Amino acid sequence: MGENKRLSFPFDVEETEPEEKSEIKRLFNYPKIDLTRVGPKGYVMPRPYIEQAENIYNLSIRPSDVFVASFQRAGTTWTQELVWLVANDFDYETALSVPINHRYPFLEIYMLFTEWRNDCLKNVDIMKSKEQKEKLFKMLEVNSQPVTEKLEAMPSPRFIKTHLPMSFLPPTIVDTAKVIYVARDPRDIAVSCYHHARLLKILDFVGEFKDFWKLFVNDCFIRTPYFEHVKEAWNMRHHPNMLFLFYEELTKDLPAVVRRVANFLGKEVTPKQMARLCDHLSFENFKKNKSVNYEDLREVDAVTPNETFIRKGKVNGWRDYFDKDMAQQAKRWIEDNLRGTDLRFPHVIG
């Protein structure tokens, strides 16, 4: 977009309700989480997001750009690695040596790290070593600065990760760039988000899963409402520049998804390349791959020691967390939100 065509961010921002703020403060140990609601669907966003919302909305999109988009914890990292390797002619040397967050700038990551960065810098002297301080400064530089300026300076092709709903992204995105969106059963999303909120010290969730589920199903967690997020992408799925995937498809038939991605990107995959890629992306190998596990956060004590970024990768793992009442509530919630749509999650047990 040229300067003369700069658009105003089209959505209003509202404060979350006092009782929601109180519950969030009770359940999240990090005291500076301040959430707002954005737009008519009421997407829950950290306040720092608002500072850069218009810049993101006006990001100059290039035809060579590839976006991997999703609601968080939908299999995004797995999809990113698959897409990057297919698009980059299976360059495993780079994939294994360059962390995925350096290969894919995360469009709105700054909104989670802004306040945490300020606190870290105030308390940096308590850190034990010069090496750890240097790693901290490097991590903060990557994660707390707005990504739009960095993207403008990046050479093409650019690979970009986002968990923003499609309506928050530049209006020309699917007319210009390639977008791969991945969705997942919301019950498994909730379980994975719960562990992720416990993992990251910028959130530091201290409640039980039942507490988290209540926030999630009532659209009080970051980037909810979930179904509105997915529907926005689902409604674009027939656009030639949008590829809509389900996490459950990747787990059931990874080669079929690889072929779909390759076709979408105009690439060929030989049987030998397919075999190596599927081995590289196998859960056992993926979980051990330091390039995709955000080890830079662990090195600077930004994550809790008893949680991991790549966790279990199970389909229907939610059954280990939901009691009977929660399962019935979830079933009704899903039915209510899918009513009147043709959106269905494949290979999922109800």
Render pLDDT for 34-66 as a digit per residue (tens, 0 to 9).
Answer: 899 999 999 999 999 999 999 999 999 999 999
pLDDT tens by residue, 287-311: 787 777 666 666 556 666 665 555 5
Residue 1 clears pLDDT 50, i.e. is over it: no
Could you tell me the residue ranges of all domains in the chain? 16-338
Residue 80 clears pLDDT 80, i.e. is over it: yes
Reduce the DSSP state of residue 25 to 3 states and report it. Answer: helix
Token match 């954005």: residue?
38
Instruction: Report the alpha-carbon distance of residue 213 to residue 211 in Å, rounded.
Output: 6
Token match 């690695």: residue?
81
Nearest to 293 by CA among 199, 190, 188: 199
DSSP conformation letters of 155-221? PSSPEEEE-S-GGGS-TTHHHHSEEEEEE--HHHHHHHHHHHHHHBTTT-B-S-HHHHHHHHHTT-S
For the chain, give the mean pLDDT. 89
Span 16-338 CATH architecture:
3-Layer(aba) Sandwich (3.40)
How high is the pLDDT of residue 2? 44
Residue 313 clears pLDDT 50, i.e. is over it: yes
Nearest to 72 by CA among 206, 183, 234, 153: 183
Can you give the pTM of this predicted structure?
A: 0.91
Residue 223 clears pLDDT 90, i.e. is over it: yes
Over residues 212-234, mean pLDDT: 97
Show contacts of 327-335: CB within 8 Å, 24+ apart: 329/217, 330/186, 330/187, 330/217, 333/186, 333/217, 334/186, 334/187
For the record, the structure tokens of 102 come out as 């350096």
* Bond before 165 cis per omega within 30 degrees: no
Instruction: Specify the length of the chain in residues.
Output: 350
How high is the pLDDT of residue 122? 63
DSSP conformation letters of 49-60? HHHHHHHHHTPP
For the record, the structure tokens of 281 come out as 């992306």
pLDDT band at 143 (very low <50, low <70, confident <90, very high): confident
